[in-house]
Amino acid sequence: MMNPEAIEASFKDLQTKLKQQFKRQPSLDAILYIIGMNALGKGNITYDREEKMNLLHVAHCTVFALSGYYELERTDEDGWPHFKILKQYPIMELSEQELFLKQHILMYFKSIDY
């Protein structure tokens, strides 16, 4: 894992770049929502509350698949991806979990050449 300062600095840079594109400072959840929408591939349509929660789940699975925690198992008839768990997350303190997530978000955006 990168050092915490480097992760935070890179994440702030990503937020700045996304702010330029979306005209507002995105929170961690907003960034996950963007990733989920991108992974789903249906664009910026209106989602109900359950679908929004599912988009966050898809985002988590998508970013952690980059490190082998999940694998895309199938896409259902409505186009929603379904993942299977390949390995458990390491045990971490809450602050470490947030850094771990941010690092994977950074990996995701690098993987799509953003």
| Tens digit of each residue's pLDDT, the chain (114 residues) | 679 999 999 999 999 999 999 999 999 999 999 999 999 999 879 999 999 999 999 999 999 999 999 999 999 999 999 999 999 999 999 999 999 999 999 999 999 999
**Residue 5: which of 16, 35, 13, 25 has the closest Cα?**
13
Tell me how far apart the alpha carbons of residues 16 and 21 are, in angstroms, rounded to a whole number: 9
User: Which pTM value belongs to this model?
Assistant: 0.93
Strand partners, 71: 84
Q: How many CB atoms lie within 10 A of CB 111?
A: 11
Cβ-count burial 63-90 (b if 16+ within 10 Å, e if not): bbbeeebbeeeeeeeeebbebeeeeeee
Number of domains in the chain: 1
Please give the residue range of the domain that contains residue 70. 4-111
